[in-house]
């Protein structure tokens, strides 16, 4: 799952829900707050814990 992109369904504060390929997944942000409807990428999995990072357009 590492490298897969999704969209935040709820704000991540730092935990919340993301959608990846029409599947809801509980996730935790790598840093702080990520708002709803933001693109994220899975950067780490620790057992059932999924860590994401916001994708910023630079």
What domains, with CATH codes, occur in the chain? 5-54 (2.40.50.140)
**Angle 49-37-43 from CA coordinates, rounded to 5°:** 35
pLDDT of res. 36: 98
DSSP string, 1-58: -TT-EEEESS-BSSEEEEEETTEEEEEEESSS-B-TT-EEEEEEEETTEEEEEE----
CA dihedral 26, 22, 47, 38 (to 10 degrees): -50
pLDDT of res. 8: 98
C-alpha 48/C-alpha 38 separation (Å) is: 22
The 10s digit of each residue's pLDDT in 1-58 is 999 999 999 999 999 999 999 999 999 999 899 999 999 999 999 999 999 999 997 6
pLDDT of res. 31: 86
């Amino acid at each position: 799952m590492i490298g897969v992109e999704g969209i935040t369904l709820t704000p991540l504060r730092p935990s919340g829900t993301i959608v990846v390929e029409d599947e809801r997944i509980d996730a935790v942000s790598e840093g702080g707050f990520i708002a709803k409807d933001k693109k994220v990428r899975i950067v780490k999995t620790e057992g059932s814990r999924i860590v994401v990072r916001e994708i910023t357009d630079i």
